[in-house]
Structure 1
Amino acid sequence: MQLKVTGLLSADVLIHLANTYTTSTKALSLVENIANGMISGQLKMSELFDGLTRQERQCLEHAVRRFHKIGMMAQTKGVKVLVDAEYTYLNPAINLLTMALMAIFNTDSPVIWNTYQCYLKKALETITTEVEMSQKLGVCFGAKIVRGAYMVQEHQRAVSLGYPSPICENYEATNNNYNKVVKYMLDHVQTGQSTCNIIIATHNEESVRLAIRRVNELGIQPHLGTVNFGQLLGMSDQITFPLASAGFTVYKSIPYGPLGEVLPYLARRAMENQTVLAGARKEQQLLWQEIKLRAKNCLTPNLREIPTRTF
């Protein structure tokens, strides 16, 4: 299940948490204290409350309790919670809350997963820091690796506020960054397969090929479910089905909701990965080839064997 944090806590409070987390010299202590607050249902940290109104403090405590209830239910039902990344000015707060959830619920297996946007220049640095933090906490680690969905907004915000753009210079740089993060995480999975799981969420065929090549080099067994792949339902099935046939678990993301909200989501997915539209055209070609082949077989009753096709 994918979880959008801004559905549980206002952006204003998240910005406050993000600023507190990024300026703190005791990030691990903040994570542990948030985790304790989730368990007890009451936060006891003046550092987090500084600058918040009484109403905002109450909202934060309510949200912390909601996160804990979600984690409890997910653990009980055996559901993985994939926490979505959002805008860069919100992500530190999302990371803080997600790491706190990991500290509570990832003791035996990765129940809570964070999302890492590889169109951000610091993606590898961020995921490395959080892997190391999970090791200090002594918990399992789950990661969904994506390219990212807010490129235009991030660039416009950087220009308007006069700070360097946090996103990679171009699509090629994003691809290189993505592949570096995937390689780092695959190496980490290989060293501790029972404590680290990842989803390589991409519609890019080259990224999938590189990942599978590295999986084979490291001797990671697909059926263990430590390395998974993800695509949107209805997109890139020419990637999905061969992966599933090879024994990999493939997560098909199903966006649902009012049409006015779902369409912008799908538009962001297409924008984050330019290969989506090209992949759709290729998928149409493959489907048309399959239709023609089946029609030919129907018209050839004496044909003894249908040739094997590989998409």
Structure 2
Amino acid sequence: MVDFNDTKTAFILKSDAQLRKAYWLFKLVANKSLVGLGKKASSLAIKLGLPIRTVVKQTVYDQFVGGESIEECEPIINKLQEYNVFALLDFAVEGKETDADFDATKDEIVQTIKYGAKRDGIPFAVFKVTGVAAFPLLEKYSAGKAFSELESRAWTRAKNRIEEICYTAHKFGMCIMIDAEESWIQKAIDEMALEMMQRFNKEQIVVVNTLQMYRVDRFSFLKESYQLAQDKQFKLGVKLVRGAYMEKERQRAEELNYADPIHANKDGSDKSYDEGIEFVLNHYEDTLLVAGSHNEESARKLAGKMEAKGIAHNHPNVWFSQLYGMSDNLSFNLAAGGYNVVKYLPFGPVNETLPYLIRRAEENTSAGGQSTRELGLIQQEIKRRGLD
């Protein structure tokens, strides 16, 4: 059985200096008020054009982001590969609104696919639909409202970008993951993901949709997606995660007076996630599963279920996934045990990846948050190396 407390394996890539730096960083992000202050200060600094680039790059950026370009990520990709951990390149620039920006983002995603296809160690690429399509457009479509003529043309352009991304992945033999987003735009994303799967997932799994299992409707949607794949004779690809927008989802549901789309408590989300994993594992021969979780118990359960069902550790249809800079005790110990592991490796200019970095910092401050566990493991490794 995999030992997730093996810190020697977990931090094998980190030098003593990097380990100490990670310790102080997680110590800082564990402080909610400091993170809140940092969020406001960084937003203000960008608006005022203040030179915060160096400070950000040498702290949170280095911990959670691979580099400003694909080329800058290469040393990290090579190091990960040395220890059988795969990389998933994620162009982490967000919040764009013009067609020119959407086209530029699409071009960058296409480049990550082509780059990944020509070298080992990068089986997947990923994109957010809001990176190539306007949020209000996705919201209007998801609400079932009619488009104006102008909006219809914008919608066609957005679909063309998504189609080009998926076609490129198909042409170059890569998998492309589509990230999940807010529930009030997810209907549009789901429909496009399933449409792309019907086109490109006939022979092999190219397009992978992401399901946030903290939503009360996602387990039934998973089963419906599988049934559609059977009926239309294509292969289903899914990444299962718990979810990333809980506070925003609850707040909007309350403000607009509709039923909260999220499970009432963590137990409900955990049960939904576990049921989703079990369902996909029961169909693993014709369905791709990427289990995106930093939860140790979830990783242990999945490894145990694979064992019980006689699924090979390195079966091409089952993957564990974590974010770069987090949960190395899961990633590296699973990889050492022969399991397929892929790290989300974001890249992009420092200023433009700030929304991504702020989310990572906030994620680590949450109650019972990631930083407590990360700190404990780092302290354990510092002690093991005799650095304390």
What TM-score comes out, normalization by structure 2 length?
Answer: 0.64
In the alignment, does 2:220 pair up with 1:129? Answer: no
In the alignment, does 2:374 pair up with 1:280? Answer: yes
- Which amino acid in structure 1 is aligned with residue 138 of structure 2? L
- Alignment equivalent of 1:8, drawn from 122, 126, 132: 132
- Alignment equivalent of 1:93, drawn from 173, 183, 188: 188
Q: Give the whole-Å Cα distance in 1 for the aligned partners of 2:229 and 2:369.
A: 33
- Which amino acid in structure 1 is aligned with residue 299 of structure 2? V
Whether the aligned pair in 2 keeps the contact of 1:88 and 1:154 (CA below 8 Å) is yes
Deviations 1:159-218 (A, max 9, x none): 1011121111122222222111111111121xxx1x211111111110111111111111
After superposition, the CA RMSD in angstroms is 1.9
C-alpha spacing 1:226/1:87, structure 2 compared with 1 (3 Å): same
Structure 2 gaps of 5+ residues are: 1-124
The residue number in structure 1 matching 2:239 is: 144
Shift of 1:85: 0.7
The residue number in structure 1 matching 2:78 is: none
Shift of 1:82: 0.8
Deviations 1:198-252 (A, max 9, x none): 1111111101111111111111112222110001112111111121112111110
Whether the aligned pair in 1 keeps the contact of 2:202 and 2:235 (CA below 8 Å) is yes
- Alignment equivalent of 1:209, drawn from 297, 300, 303: 300
- Alignment equivalent of 2:354, drawn from 249, 260, 269: 260
Q: Give the whole-Å Cα distance in 2 for the aligned partners of 1:274 and 1:59.
A: 43
The residue number in structure 2 matching 1:198 is: 289
Whether the aligned pair in 2 keeps the contact of 1:203 and 1:273 (CA below 8 Å) is no
Compare 262-271 and 131-140 and name the one that shifted more: 262-271
Q: Give the whole-Å Cα distance in 1 for the aligned partners of 2:354 and 2:303.
A: 37
- Which amino acid in structure 2 is aligned with residue 241 of structure 1? F
Compare 7-16 and 138-147 and name the one that shifted more: 7-16
C-alpha spacing 1:62/1:259, structure 2 compared with 1 (3 Å): closer
Structure 1 runs (4+) greater than 6 angstroms displaced? none
Q: Give the whole-Å Cα distance in 1 for the aligned partners of 2:367 and 2:274.
A: 14
Deviations 1:36-82 (A, max 9, x none): xxxxxxxxxxxxxx721111111111112111111121122222111
C-alpha spacing 1:269/1:116, structure 2 compared with 1 (3 Å): farther
Percent of aligned pairs sharing the same letter: 28
Structure 1 gaps of 5+ residues are: 21-49, 296-311
Which structure is richer in relative contact order (CA contacts within 8 A, separation 6 or more)? Answer: 2
Whether the aligned pair in 2 keeps the contact of 1:106 and 1:141 (CA below 8 Å) is yes
Q: Give the whole-Å Cα distance in 2 for the aligned partners of 1:133 and 1:182.
A: 18
Q: Give the whole-Å Cα distance in 1 for the aligned partners of 2:162 and 2:356.
A: 24
Q: Give the whole-Å Cα distance in 1 for the aligned partners of 2:343 and 2:210.
A: 16
Q: Give the whole-Å Cα distance in 2 for the aligned partners of 1:71 and 1:97.
A: 11
- Which amino acid in structure 2 is aligned with residue 247 of structure 1? G
- Which amino acid in structure 1 is aligned with residue 142 of structure 2? A
The residue number in structure 1 matching 2:84 is: none
Q: Give the whole-Å Cα distance in 1 for the aligned partners of 2:229 and 2:273.
A: 21
Q: Give the whole-Å Cα distance in 1 for the aligned partners of 2:201 and 2:363.
A: 29
Q: Give the whole-Å Cα distance in 1 for the aligned partners of 2:310 and 2:244.
A: 32
Whether the aligned pair in 1 keeps the contact of 2:365 and 2:371 (CA below 8 Å) is no
The count of residues paired between Structure 1 and Structure 2 equals 260
Larger Rg: 1
Q: Give the whole-Å Cα distance in 1 for the aligned partners of 2:353 and 2:140.
A: 32
C-alpha spacing 1:262/1:19, structure 2 compared with 1 (3 Å): closer
Counting only pairs closer than 5 Å after superposition, residues 205-244 of structure 1 correspond to structure 2 as: 205-244=296-335
Residue 254 of structure 1 aligns to a residue in which SS?
strand
- Which amino acid in structure 2 is aligned with residue 70 of structure 1? I
Residue 287 of structure 1 aligns to a residue in which SS?
helix
What TM-score comes out, normalization by structure 1 length?
Answer: 0.79
